[in-house]
């Protein structure tokens, strides 16, 4: 490979040529000025060319290279052999060199391009064509061409050019990899837009009417957002990746404490989603190993936390606390004595934050309300498991009171809370609630009877007059009998067992009110 690029039309050295065309013009003037100082030529178009020229830099317009002006409302600017031939030419392939000489193509040695911000405002006109073509061409030909899609890399390349006169092959390869990742993410965003209904003005949504509730392909593109202390265990590496860069964890602020680990983020996410699903009242949850060991609603956030912690204070040790209201000083003083890994809330009073930051290892996070993604994706060997999100409906018009007695107003309130919590507990689960407080949670058992036994043991008499939720139907009446023995007077469950009539009869025998929802909420 030639170290010094040669002109396609002369035998002498030629100035190196850079094509600069970016939507995000951060650092573009500085890059252009540095390249000119190093003896490079600049080729540019549109807004980038105007910015460079306004800074006093010499710029060759792309229309001078192609012989064609920008056309079709800027849809066609760089799509021309004079551009793409200069990017894609193999400088050590005689046929390529001969073609360049024949057609007057000048090699392009650096391409600095980033794409229209499709994700911020999706539309047909923001589907970039020329930009990805140049990025992909330069990345393909990285043996000769340096491709830059991220302004953060400008100084890396300039430092190498200043020190050695070349961009190292390893750097070009890394930049090419990043370039293909950039265009892959861009295409993924466009595919998602089509799947979500765009472009609505041109065609009907590509949705259930066309091919069912799940797309025929899934395109995931995520970038490294946060290195973590370690993975699920200390000998594993861990990191958080982001799809959009704008999720609630991208916008979260950590005020104090150690760096987050994989399980800190995993459990905090489970806690954050649950607490925002509990309704409009002040709510608090305590999560341990992705399962709630406490949840409560109250008239104020401090009381909600106290009652959530009371559900299972032994399991709460080393847990994650999530709150849906600003943390006050009284709440901070209640939190401080308890060993907690992470606290996440929408905000903190200044004096409350001072109290919490005295705990040096406590991770204190502020985060915005989470958005629920449309699809739930898990990895398996050789592929993915994909499902639509489990949405918990509280539409009583779809529920059925199946017993002689209907729930009282107080029981209805507890049934709804128990149902919300049960949907977020690993199956099999039984949840006991009394007066807005989870008092017993039996999680992740291989049979429902054991889940009920554990919930009752944890409740320890506090479920009397309260509600019981089962995430799936009771296959036998023994589960219903266990709820009654724990003191619950109202039960909510999906129904659908071949022994439903037997279970209903058992409820009537004991004066229980029972509601069938028609939907189960397994969680694994």
Question: Pairing state of beta strands 383-388 and 490-493?
Answer: unpaired
**401 Cβ contact partners less than 8 Å away, ≥ 6 residues apart:** 407, 513, 514, 515
Angle in degrees, CA 339, 467, 346, rounded to 5: 40
The tokens describing 347, both together, are 């905000």
239 forms beta bridges with 227
Please choose, from the candidates 493, 487, 494, the residue with its C-alpha nearest in 3D space to the C-alpha of residue 433.
Answer: 487
Round to whole Å and give the CA distance between 380 and 424. Answer: 22
Neighbours of 63 (CB within 10 A): 15
Angle in degrees, CA 465, 470, 473, rounded to 5: 125
The tokens describing 214, both together, are 């799940």
Round to whole Å and give the CA distance between 458 and 441. Answer: 7
Running DSSP on this structure, what letter comes out for residue 40? Answer: -
Round to whole Å and give the CA distance between 266 and 270. Answer: 6
Round to whole Å and give the CA distance between 107 and 111. Answer: 11
Please compute Rg for the chain using Cα positions: 31
Bond before 428 cis per omega within 30 degrees? yes
Q: Where are the alpha helices (DSSP H) in 55-93?
A: 62-66, 81-88
> Which residues have a catalytic role annotated?
140, 289
339: left (phi over 0), alpha (psi -120 to 50) or beta: beta
Of all residues in the chain, what percent are helix, strand and coil, respectively (each to 5)? 40, 20, 40
């Amino acid at each position: 490979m030639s170290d010094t690029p040669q002109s396609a039309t002369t035998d002498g050295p030629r100035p190196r040529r850079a094509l600069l065309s970016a939507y995000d013009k951060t650092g573009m003037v500085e890059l252009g000025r540095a390249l000119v100082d190093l003896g490079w030529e600049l080729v540019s178009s549109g807004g980038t060319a105007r910015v460079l020229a306004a800074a006093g830099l010499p710029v060759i317009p792309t229309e001078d290279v192609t012989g064609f002006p920008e056309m079709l409302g800027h849809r066609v600017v760089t799509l021309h052999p004079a551009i793409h031939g200069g990017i894609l030419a193999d400088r050590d392939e005689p046929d390529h060199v001969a073609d360049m000489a024949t057609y007057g193509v000048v090699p392009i040695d650096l391409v600095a391009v980033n794409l229209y911000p499709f994700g911020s405002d999706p539309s047909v006109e923001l589907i970039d064509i020329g930009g990805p073509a140049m990025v992909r061409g330069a990345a393909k030909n990285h043996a000769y061409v340096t491709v830059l899609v991220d302004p953060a890399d400008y100084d890396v390349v300039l430092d190498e050019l200043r020190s050695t006169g070349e961009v190292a092959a390893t750097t070009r390869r890394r930049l090419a990899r990043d370039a293909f990742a950039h265009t892959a993410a861009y295409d993924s965003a466009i595919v998602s837009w089509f799947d979500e209904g765009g472009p609505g003005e041109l065609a009907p949504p590509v949705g259930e009417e066309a091919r069912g509730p799940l797309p025929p392909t899934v395109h995931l593109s995520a970038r490294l957002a946060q290195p973590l202390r370690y993975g699920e265990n200390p000998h594993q590496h861990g990191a958080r990746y982001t799809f959009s860069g704008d999720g609630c964890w991208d916008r979260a602020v950590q005020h104090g404490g150690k760096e987050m680990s994989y399980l800190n983020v995993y459990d905090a996410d489970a806690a954050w989603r649950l607490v925002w699903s509990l309704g409009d009242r002040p709510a608090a949850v305590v999560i341990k190993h992705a399962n709630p060991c406490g949840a409560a609603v109250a008239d104020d956030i401090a009381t909600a936390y106290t009652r959530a912690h009371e559900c299972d204070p032994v399991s709460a040790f080393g847990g994650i606390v999530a709150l849906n209201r600003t943390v006050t000083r009284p709440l901070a003083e209640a939190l401080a004595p308890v060993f907690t890994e992470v606290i996440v809330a929408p905000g903190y009073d200044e004096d409350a934050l001072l109290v919490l930051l005295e705990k040096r290892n406590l991770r204190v996070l502020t985060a915005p309300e989470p958005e629920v993604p449309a699809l739930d994706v898990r990895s398996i060997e050789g592929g993915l498991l994909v499902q639509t999100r489990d949405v918990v409906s509280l539409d009583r018009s779809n529920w059925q009171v199946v017993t002689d007695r209907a729930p009282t107003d107080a029981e209805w309130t507890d049934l709804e809370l128990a149902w919300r919590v049960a949907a977020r507990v690993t199956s099999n689960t039984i949840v006991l609630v009394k007066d807005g407080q989870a008092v017993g949670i039996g999680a992740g058992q291989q049979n429902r009877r054991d889940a009920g036994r554990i919930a009752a043991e944890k409740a320890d008499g506090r479920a009397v007059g309260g509600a019981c939720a089962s995430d799936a139907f009771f296959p036998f009446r023994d589960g219903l009998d266990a709820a009654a023995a724990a003191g619950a007077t109202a039960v909510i469950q999906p129904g659908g067992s071949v022994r439903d009539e037997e279970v209903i009869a058992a409820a009537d025998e004991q004066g229980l009110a029972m509601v069938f929802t028609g939907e189960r909420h397994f969680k694994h």
